[in-house]
Amino acid sequence: MRGFFITFEGTEGSGKSTQIGILARRLTRRGYRVIATREPGGTRFGEQIRKVLLSIQNHGLDSRAELFLYLASRAQHLEEVILPALKQGRIVLCDRFSDATLAYQGFGRKLDMKTVRAAVKYAEKGIFPDRTLLLDLEVGVGLDRVRSRGRRNRLDREQRAFHERVRAGYRRLARMNPGRIKIVTAGRNAEAVAEEIRSIIDRDLKIRSTASP
């Protein structure tokens, strides 16, 4: 059976990594073979790119250069980690994927959307998430959370208006892909969010097991 590909998306401080950790532990306990990974990153090469992208020293990075770096990380990640894991029947939990590029580089940076879509399509090689969980949170609340952790990266330091465009962009993507992208309200305690995610994924996995030969 082909594996199952789940992506987590959301603006800064929306709690993706906490939720990925909780879901990974739950699914592993139930006997599923799970890998948790992230973008940018997920491979040795990708983690090096991540450092470049998030370093506050690179504040002058051109938006197109930025786009290509995210896509370079994705291409490597797909070949080295995601595709092999899906072929082995694993559940892949990925912290951000193509929707992030559309939301951040398309809506956030305002790069030409048609071009961004074409570039994203080239990098993702026909692999789409089976399910995307969009952790939706007010921008101000998320940025406060990030600030209180005391580790702001190059993107966290962007203007508020940029983050508002990203959030609106994500919500628009969800409206355009209602079957795949589920909006999960993130401004609640982590257990309540985890419970909603659990019920969505349980339903997905049930459908998947009855649909498979």
Question: Is residue 37 a contact point for ligand TMP (CB under 6 A)?
Answer: no
CB of 150 to ligand TMP, least distance (A): 15
**Least distance (Å) between residue 15 CB and ligand TMP:** 11
Q: Please select the residue that binds ligand TMP; options are 37, 39, 77, 194, rule is CB under 6 A.
A: 39
Q: Which of 43, 76, 101, 132 binds ligand TMP (CB under 6 A)?
A: 101
Measured from the CB atom, the residue of 3 and 40 that comes closer to ligand TMP is 40
H/E stretch holding 119: helix 113-124
Residues touching ligand TMP, count (CB under 6 A): 12
The alpha carbon dihedral of 39, 77, 88, 35 has a sign of negative
Which residue, 18, 118, 25, is CA-closest to 68? 118
Q: Does 104 bind ligand TMP (CB under 6 A)?
A: yes
Least separation in angstroms between CB 19 and ligand TMP? 13
Site for ligand TMP in 73-92 (CB under 6 A): none
What is the C-alpha separation between 135 and 7, in angstroms, rounded?
A: 11
For ligand TMP, what does the binding mask look like between residues 145 and 184, x meaning CB under 6 A? ----------x-----------------------------
Cα separations (Å) of 3 from 43, 123, 154, 169? 19, 20, 34, 28
* 43 belongs to the binding site for ligand TMP (CB under 6 A): no
Phi and psi at 181, nearest 5°, equal -95, 120
* 4-10 vs 34-38, strand pairing mode: unpaired
